[in-house]
Chains A and B, each alone.
Chain A
Amino acid sequence: MQPAEVLNGENIEGKQENSKSNEQEILVCFDLVSTILSRLPVKSLLRFRSISKSWLALIGSPEFIKYHLSLSTNKNKDYTNHKVMLRIAQPELNLKDYSVMDEPNLDYQMKSSVRKYKKLPDFETKSSNDGHFIYGFGYDEIHDDYKIMRIFSNKGRLHDFQEINMYSLRNNS
């Protein structure tokens, strides 16, 4: 399958007309640009957001991000963080040094590779503050969704948990 079609399947006919009208100057039609850019490392993409408004919009679009992720996953299975990450945090929740999350305290913000932030809703907890929280963050390929799970456990014993919360980015709940 042609990569350009994956990104912009409905536009194959229109594209042919475009390239015909650009005989003089060599311009690459926009869905080819996205096919090329999808092979770039994240750092280059972040830098190239400053090239033009249309590149900014392209690099930030969900279709592009998804396609970029699928390519980099195919290329190197160990490269992307597809596995669920788990980490035990103290109630003060310092997640600063964590690559996918930023900001301490209960207003977590999730950070994807394009560095967009999203404020998570407050997890309500009925429990007292002397336990541990365990956080998991992962990508759910089946539902194309990012999920955060929080387990509250007393004294850090996993088998002694009292509460589990699940947050879905897609549903924002």
Chain B
Amino acid sequence: MASTTETKQKKMLILKSADNDEFEIEESVGVQSETIKNLVEDGFTFVPLPNVYTKALIKIIDYLKKHANKTDSNDEEIKTFDKDFVNTTFDDLFELVSAANYLHISCLMNMLCQTIADRIKDKSPEAVRKIFHINCDYTPEEEAKIRKANAQAFEGQFDESLD
């Protein structure tokens, strides 16, 4: 009698990316995403993700698999994994953070936002503009005024690199 419950098959989900690739994952892995969890609770096993592209989805599935198997013994291994995970370009990080936000995976959101913040905190405003693809909408006079009003924050050297 006990054996019948043990041989119970793992429940699977299919995730479909915005560019129509399908990925099969275990339900227990997927439900770390609040968005997926809500759909699973409503009985869905096929989950279209119109805001998440394949490239980001592959990385996120990796992350979810790794973190689903979290135990006390593999703590270091997960830390190393996380460090590698965020070691990428800003554009990749932005795509991942948008996906993590849409999927409501709060631990991943926290990690990505903190990583981006840590990487831009010592940068110059010019570098940050390029990284975030922002056009400066100040006139030179307005910008000079803002800089003057916050002169203390402009003391010292800033990182001009874009990575």
Residues of A within 8 A of B (CB): 1-4, 15-16, 19-20, 25-29, 32-33, 35-37, 39-41, 43-56, 115
Contact in complex: A52, B129 (CB < 8 Å):
yes
Contact in complex: B109, A47 (CB < 8 Å):
no
Contact in complex: A2, B101 (CB < 8 Å):
yes
B150 to chain A, nearest CB (A): 4
Interface of B is mostly: helix
Chain A residues with Cβ below 8 Å from B122 are: 44
Q: State in angstroms the CA–CA spacing of A40 and B115 once bound together.
A: 10
Chain A residues with Cβ below 8 Å from B50 are: 20
Indicate which residue in A19, A39, A44, A53 contacts B102 across the interface (CB closer than 8 Å). A19
Given A26-B133, A50-B146, check contact A32 B51 (CB 8 Å).
no
Q: State in angstroms the CA–CA spacing of A72 and B97 once bound together.
A: 21
Given A20-B50, A48-B125, check contact A32 B91 (CB 8 Å).
no
Q: State in angstroms the CA–CA spacing of A36 and B97 once bound together.
A: 10
Contact in complex: B146, A36 (CB < 8 Å):
no
Tell me how many residue pairs across A and B have CB atoms closer than 8 Å: 97
Chain A residues with Cβ below 8 Å from B154 are: 47
**B3 at the A interface (CB under 8 A):** no
Residues of B within 8 A of A (CB): 34, 50-51, 91, 94-95, 97-98, 101-102, 104, 106, 109-110, 113-114, 116-118, 120-122, 124-125, 128-129, 132-138, 143, 146-147, 150, 152-154, 158
19 contacts between A and B (CB under 8 A): A2-B34, A2-B101, A3-B106, A3-B113, A26-B95, A26-B133, A28-B94, A28-B98, A28-B132, A32-B97, A32-B113, A43-B153, A44-B153, A45-B153, A47-B150, A48-B125, A48-B128, A51-B125, A115-B150
Indicate which residue in B120, B124, B147 contacts A40 across the interface (CB closer than 8 Å). B120
Given A36-B117, A51-B128, A52-B138, check contact A46 B133 (CB 8 Å).
no
Contact in complex: B146, A4 (CB < 8 Å):
no
Q: Which one of A26, A37, A54 has the greatest number of beta carbons of chain B within 10 Å? A: A26
A93 to chain B, nearest CB (A): 24
Contact in complex: A33, B132 (CB < 8 Å):
yes
Chain B residues with Cβ below 8 Å from A15 are: 101
Contact in complex: A39, B117 (CB < 8 Å):
yes
- The residue in chain B whose Cβ has the minimal distance to the Cβ of A115 is B150
B155 to chain A, nearest CB (A): 9
- The residue in chain A whose Cβ has the minimal distance to the Cβ of B144 is A50
Q: State in angstroms the CA–CA spacing of A20 and B48 once bound together.
A: 14
Indicate which residue in B94, B106, B109, B121 contacts A44 across the interface (CB closer than 8 Å). B121
Chain B residues with Cβ below 8 Å from A53 are: 137-138
> Apart from A2-B104, A51-B132, what 17 extra A-B contacts exist at CB < 8 Å?
A2-B106, A2-B109, A3-B110, A19-B102, A26-B95, A28-B94, A32-B98, A33-B132, A36-B116, A39-B113, A43-B152, A47-B150, A47-B153, A49-B146, A49-B150, A50-B146, A52-B134
